[in-house]
Amino acid sequence: MKVIAVRIDSMIRLNDWLPFLSPERRERVGRFYREMDSIRCVLSELVAKSLIIEMTGCSSDQIAIQVDQFGKPYMSGPINHIQFNISHSGTWVVGIANDQGHPVGIDIEQIDEDMKLGSFASILSIDEKRVLDSVPVNERMEHFIELWTYKESYVKADGKGLSMPIDLCAFTPSLTGEAAWQLASPSDIPYYWKSYSVHPDYKMTACSACKRLPETCAVSKASEFLQRYVDLRAHAASAT
């Protein structure tokens, strides 16, 4: 299993990278009005492909990514044992993948102190609201964003998306010390979480049905990642 985080350190020449994308992704990129949205869209697919190539050694032409009815991406075709997930926020694009078939999810969120917690009351359980209300006001948003990354990474790993009932996605502070939060009620499949620190203004959490989540996250600038992706892609193509 591997977790990576890519920081957008400069504007990317989008036209240079469109040939590396699937037709569906190229179409999505073209629909965005803001350049940063287009860049995140490009990097999201390339991060997924880099993880898959690195784990399988397959060429990029062998990668077929589909999306299920809940919006969860998956690999179709012969390389369908890879589980992966992507998230982005602000200047970061992050990804997780494993080749053992264990469900995975990941989420990164930028801490925005201007957000109003009241806007999210409908997606929080009574106990979650109580816990957040007990936190000092100046720390409350940071705790909420952290909780949100736990919830989001879980529903993405589980695969049902935000269609999951609130009571099945309720969290409580963890008693084990291995993670900050845990599910308030046990799920059919045991899940595990790990948070990674990539920047003080962001919270990032990975979730998996495999207990052995990576201890570290590989962090790189977008410019470095893109060059590494080109090299990785070329090496895989020559080996297949």
Is the predicted pLDDT of residue 240 greater than 80, yes or no?
Answer: no
Residue matched to tokens 């053992």: 100
Buried-state track 182-191, b at ≥16 Cβ within 10 A, e below 16: bbeeeeeeeb
Query: 156 with 97: CB under 8 angstroms?
Result: no
* Mean pLDDT of the 79-108 span: 94
User: What average pLDDT does this structure show over 52-69?
Assistant: 89
Domain ranges of the chain: 2-239
pLDDT of 57 over the 80 cut? yes
Sign of CA dihedral 148, 209, 44, 67: negative
First to last CA, the chain: 23
Whole-number pLDDT of residue 80: 76
CATH number of 2-239: 3.90.470.20
Q: Does position 77 have pLDDT exceeding 90, yes or no?
A: no
Question: Residue 195: pLDDT above 90?
Answer: yes
**Quick check: 43 and 134 in contact, CB under 8 A?**
no
With cut-offs at 50, 70 and 90, classify the pLDDT of residue 234: very high
Report the pLDDT averaged over residues 98-120: 89
Q: What is the pLDDT of residue 188?
A: 81
Cβ count within 10 A of residue 153: 27
pLDDT digits (tens, 9 = 90+) for 162-174: 566 666 689 999 8
Both tokens of residue 179? 């993670």
